Amino acid sequence: MPVGGEIVVHGRKLVGSAQVRKRDAFLQHGSILLEGTQPGGGAETTLARALGRSVFFDEVAAAIIAAWADPRSDSPTVRPSDIASLAPR
């Protein structure tokens, strides 16, 4: 079941997020299910289902990079190589 702060489409979780804080450390983890199903899932949706079309990792990575770009700079704060290394092999 989705909780506050998560991205939800039609009542179903699209982006999962978790974090832990300890003294001066902070770890954030997030995931976007592009297509398919989650083992044991059922309360989530996929980006493909939400958009009504297939989506590809490179397309989503480019959209994230564009969204995180610093508007005061010509270069993004997240580089394509930062995300490309996470692509499924």
Residue-wise pLDDT tens digits, 32-74: 888 877 776 677 788 888 888 998 988 888 888 777 776 676 6
- The pLDDT value recorded for residue 10 is 82
Instruction: Measure Cα distances from 16 to 46, 52, 76, 87 in Å.
Output: 11, 20, 24, 18
At 60, phi and psi to the nearest 5?
-70, -40
Q: pTM score, two decimals?
A: 0.63
pLDDT in tens, 18-27: 888 888 888 8
Domain ranges (residues) in the chain: 1-54, 56-89
